[in-house]
Chain A
Amino acid sequence: MAESVPAADVHAHDDHGHHEQSFASKYLFSTDHKMIAMQYMFTGMAMALIGGFFAYAFRMQLAFPGMDVPFWGQVSAAEYNALVTNHGTIMIFWVAMPVLIAAFGNYLIPLMCGCDDMVFPRLNRLSYQIFLLSAVVLIASFFVEGGAFGGAWTAYPPLSAKAEYSLTPLGSTIWVIAVALEFVAFLLGGINFVTTAMNSRAEGMGMYDIPVVIWMIVIASILFMASVGPLIAGAVMLVFDQTLGTNFFDPDRGGDPILWQHLFWFFGHPEVYVVLLPALGITADIMATFSRKKIFAYKTVLYTTFATGVLSFMVWAHHQFIAGVDPRMAHVFTITTLLISIPIAELCFVYIATLYKGSITLSTPMLWALAFLGEFLIGGVTGIFLGASGADVYFHDTYFVLAHFHYTFFPIAIIGTFAGVTYWFPKMFGRMMNETLGKIHFWGTVIPFNCIFIPLFFLGMGGQHRRIYNYENFPELAGQGMQDIRIFATVSLLVMLAFQVVFFINFIMSLRSGKKAPNNPWRANTLEWQTPSPPPHGNFGSEMPKVYRGPYEYGTPGREEDFWPQNAPS
C-alpha cells in the first residue's frame, strides 16, 4: 500500500461534472465521499445484524444450556467460542470503526469543512473496497474446515498460535488476515481524513472554527494510526507462528506469549478511544444544536482530547494485571489509568455545562445524545474499579469486566451511531425521520440495554467468569439464582433486538415517504446544513462556502435568529 500514497497525486475528479453514470460507476466504483460513506454505513449495519445474531445465539445457550436455538440449532462448545470471538471482533472492527469513523468521517469531513471531496478520492474508494473484502474474508472463515476462530477477540497465544490448541487450523489464520485487511482499509481512510481536514478547509475556516466532531474524528484517526503499528507487527508474528512454524510466542522454544499481550493492548486501549472520540464528537454537535448553546469551553475540549490521546498510550498494561506483570509496574499502570479518567470526566462535565440553562429540545437525536452521556458514565466509572490493580485481581475476566466495556462500547457504537444517523438522516437522504417511531425505538433500546448489563455486573461480582459456554459444569456458578439472572439478561436482549425492527421500519418508511427535509431542519450553524438536502455532487454547487465564524454561535444577542451559520456574511 505504500505506493498508493505518493502516487495518488492525480486527483481523481474524473467523474465530477458529467452526471449520467452507470449503476456500477455510481454505486460500486464511486469516488464520491458521500457514496463511500453510505457504503461504509450500510456494510457496517449489515455486519451489526450478523454480530447481533451471534450474540442472540450464544446468549440463548447461556440462558438455556443445550437448547435448540431457533435459526441456529445446538450450540456446541466450539461454536460457542467462535460465536463469542467473532461477535466481539465484528462489533469493534466491522461495526464501530466503519460506522463511527469511516461512514461519519467520510460523510462529514468534506461537508463540514466546506470542500467538494476528499483529497485522495481514489485512495478512499480503495479503502472501502479493501474493507468490503475484509468483511467477506471474515465471514468466509465460518465455512472452512474446522470452523471459525474461537480464541477470543484478543487472540492470546499460545491458544491462537497453534492449531493443536485452537483446533481451527484455517479459521485462526483467516481471522488474522481479515483483521489485517481491515487495518489497511482504515489506514487509507485515515490518511485521507487527516489530510483533508488540514488542507481542504473552506476559505476563512481556522483551526478553531472546525466543528468538534471533525476534530474528534481526525484525532481518532491519528490515534489509530499511531497505535496500530505494534499490532500489525504482532499479527505478522502470529501468522508466522500459525503457518510457517516460527515460535515467536511459544515459551518452550524461546518465544514469549506475554509479548503478544503487550503488542495487542498497546493498540487495544488506544482503540477504545479511537471509537469513543467520534461518538463524543457526534454528541457534542447534537447537544449544541438542541440546547441552542455554544459548546462550553470549545478549546478545553480540544486540549482535553489531546491529553486523553497521549495518555491512552500509557495505560495498556491494566489489561494484564494478572498476566505476570511486575507489581511495581502494576502500580504505575494503576496510576496512569486513574489519571486518564480525569480528562474523560472533564469532558462529561463540559457536556453537562453545555446543557445547563440551554433551551433544550428532546428530539430523537438529542435523546440518544443524552443517553450516551448517562450510560457512558457508568462504563467509565466502573473502569476505575478495574484500573485499581488490587480490585482487578478479583474482577479480571469476570462478567464485571464484560459489563464494564459493554457500558462503554454500547453507548459508543450503538447509541452514538443512532444519534448520528437520526441527526444527519435529513441531510443524507433529503427526508425527515418519523419522531414517534424514533422515540419508541429509543426507549425500546435503552431500557433493555440496561436490563441486560446491570445484572451482569452482579454476576461478575458473584464470581462468574467469562468465556464459559455452560455454567452447569461449575457447581458454584450453577445455582438457580444465578441462572435466573442469566435468563433475565437474555430475555432483555431478545426484547432489545425486537425493537430494532422499529428502527428499520422507520428508516425505510422515512426514506420512501418521509416529509421532505429542508436544507437546515435543525437550524444548525455548520456548513453541511447550508447546502441542499441531500447535497449535490461536489457538495456546494458552483460557489464554495466561505467561513466567517465558529460553528456554535447560537443565541447571539441582537440577532433575530437564534443561530448564525458559519458562512453567513455578518
Chain B
Amino acid sequence: MSSMAPTLHVVPPPTRQPVIESQVIGTLVFIVTEIMTFAGLISGLVIVKANHLGPWPPPDQPRLPIEATGFNTLVLLASGVALFQAWRAFKRKPLDAKKPFALAIGLGLFFVVFQGFEWVRLIGEGLTLTSGALGAFFYLIVGAHALHAVVAIVLLCVFYRRLTRLELKPGTFLGAQMFWYFVVGLWPILYVQVYL
C-alpha cells in the first residue's frame, strides 16, 4: 500500500449507519418490479375483458369459487397479521415471536393448499389454460401469485429455523416481512379482478 495517494485520510472513518437496512432496500426494489409485473398481467386481463363481447365471465365456462376464495382471502390476511404480531414480539423478546411466526406460516400453507384443491376441482369441471381467455388468465395470474406464495413460505420456514436458533437478524426479518406483506396485500386485488 506504499503507493496510496497522499491525500487519503489517515484516521479510519466510523462506519456509516444506513438509514434503511440494505436488505429492506433490496427487497423493496425487487417488490417494485413484482408489482409492475402483476400490473402487466392485470392490465392484460382488463383489456381482454373490455374487448370481450357478451357477459363476463363467459357463461359457457365453469363458475369460479367466489365465496370459498373469499374465505381463503381472509385466511391469507390473517397470516399477514400474524407475521406482524411476530415482528412486534421479536422486538420485545425474539423467542416470543415463535408462536405467531409459526401461525403465519401455517395460515399461508392453508391458503396455498386450499387453492390447490380448488384448481383440481376447476380442471375437473373443464376450466383449463386452453379453454378460453378466462381459464388462461385465471391460471396465469393466480398461478403467478401462488408461485410467489410458495417461495415466500419456504423462505419463512428457513427464517423460522434461524429464529429458533436466535440467528435471525432484524434486517432479514424486515425484508422477509416486506415480501410476505406484498404477497398478502396483492391477493385481494387479484381476487377482485379475477374472481368478481
* Interface set of A (CB-CB < 8 Å, partner B): 2-3, 5-9, 119-120, 123, 187, 190-192, 194-195, 198-204, 222, 225-234, 236-237, 240, 244-248, 253-256, 259, 262-263, 266, 519-520, 530-532, 536, 540-546, 565, 567-569
Contacts and interface: CB of A to CB of B under 8 A. Distances in A.
Given A228-B36, A230-B37, A2 B25 contact: no
The main secondary structure of chain B at its interface with chain A is helix
B7 A5 contact: no
B48 interface: yes
B95 interface: no
Q: Which of B1, B26, B34, B130 has the most CB of A within 10 A?
A: B26
B2 to A, nearest CB: 10
B140 interface: yes
Given A5-B23, A9-B169, A229-B39, A255 B48 contact: yes
Given A228-B33, A233-B41, A541-B1, A9 B23 contact: yes
Contact of A248 (B10, B16, B136): B136
Contacts of B155: 2-3, 6-7
Given A5-B26, A248-B137, 7 more contacts: A203-B14, A233-B41, A246-B136, A263-B40, A531-B8, A541-B4, A546-B13
B43 interface: yes
Contacts, number: 190
Interface in B32-72: 32-41, 43-44, 47-48, 51-52
Contacts of B35: 229
A199 B130 CA distance: 48
B8 A245 contact: no
Contact of A536 (B1, B37, B51, B144): B1
Interface of B: 1, 3-5, 7-10, 12-14, 16, 18, 20, 22-23, 25-27, 29-30, 32-41, 43-44, 47-48, 51-52, 129-130, 132-133, 136-137, 140, 144, 148, 151-152, 154-155, 158-159, 169, 171-172, 175-176, 179
Given A3-B155, A226-B32, A233-B41, A9 B171 contact: yes
Given A198-B20, A226-B32, A545-B8, A232 B37 contact: yes
Contact of B129 (A8, A200, A240, A519): A240
Contact of A5 (B27, B38, B137): B27
A483 to B, nearest CB: 43
Contacts of B154: 3
Nearest 6 A/B pairs, CB to CB = A229-B36, A230-B40, A233-B40, A203-B13, A229-B37, A6-B175
B177 to A, nearest CB: 9
Given A2-B179, A229-B39, A259-B47, A254 B23 contact: no
A240 B7 CA distance: 59
B12 A191 contact: no
B172 A256 contact: no
Contacts of B38: 229, 233
Contacts of A545: 8-9
A256 B53 CA distance: 13
Contacts of B33: 187, 225-226, 228-229, 232
Contacts of A202: 13
A546 B4 CA distance: 14
